[in-house]
Structures are given as C-alpha cells and as structure tokens.
Amino acid sequence: MAIASGNMTAQTSQKVNSYLKNQIYSMAPLQLLIKVYDYAIIGCKARDMEKASKALVELIAALRFEYEEISLGLFRLYQFCMDEIKKENYEVPLKILGDLRSTWVEVAKRSSMEKIENGRLE
C-alpha cells in the first residue's frame, strides 16, 4: 500500500506542477511581474535570503533599459533591497517591494479598464 500511496503522491505532484507551469506560461507579462514581486515579498516575510534574492535577480533581469530613467531608478531600488537583505534587514525591502507591487497592480487594473473601454478584451 505504501508504494501505491507514493505513486499517488508523485502523480498528484506531477499534475500540480504541470498545472502551475501552464498557469505561468499563459500569464501576461504584467501578471508575471506581479508574481515575482509576490515571491520576493514572501521571501522577505520568511526571512529567506535565497528566495528574496532570486526574485530580485529576476526583477533586475526584467528591466528594459531602453526606458533608462525608470529602469535605472528601479535597478537602484532593487540593488538597495538586495544589499539590505544581505544584511538580514528584511523590513525595508518588504516595504519597498510591497509598495512597488501595489503600483504594478494599479497599472494592471488601469490597463484592463482601458482595454475594456476601447472594446478590446485580451
């Protein structure tokens, strides 16, 4: 019975992983960005340096420097957060990342509203 139970757990885990991958692959870039912020915030709340740092590396990698002023400002904030996390000071990065996430959520809401107002549902 233990073997069957182990098989069920492995099958269930594989189905969940497949579902999560499909969910992530079908997300719009802005939704994905918000998920990375969620991951960083969870890492800060858990005081998990590795998780928070990985998320910040992804946020830095997502910057588009053709929009230099905005990207440079975000880069500096992310770098500051990374430095604070390395010092095991999670409260300041948690606040910064939470505020940035809220801003991106607002951008996503406005973008959705504009699409609806313009008759484009995507």
**Which tens digit of pLDDT belongs to each residue from 71-113?**
999 999 999 999 999 999 999 999 999 999 999 999 988 887 7
Q: DSSP string of 22-45?
A: HHHHTS-HHHHHHHHHHHHHHHHH
Residue extents of the structural domains in the chain: 28-117
Q: Is the pLDDT of residue 1 over 50?
A: no
Q: What is the DSSP letter of 119?
A: T
pLDDT at 29: 84
Q: Is the pLDDT of residue 68 over 80?
A: yes
**Length of the chain in residues, anyone?**
122
> CA–CA separation, 63 vs 47, rounded Å?
25
CATH architecture of 28-117: Up-down Bundle (1.20)
Nearest to 101 by CA among 20, 40, 29, 21: 40
**Which tens digit of pLDDT belongs to each residue from 16-66?**
666 556 666 666 788 999 999 999 999 999 999 999 999 999 999 999 999
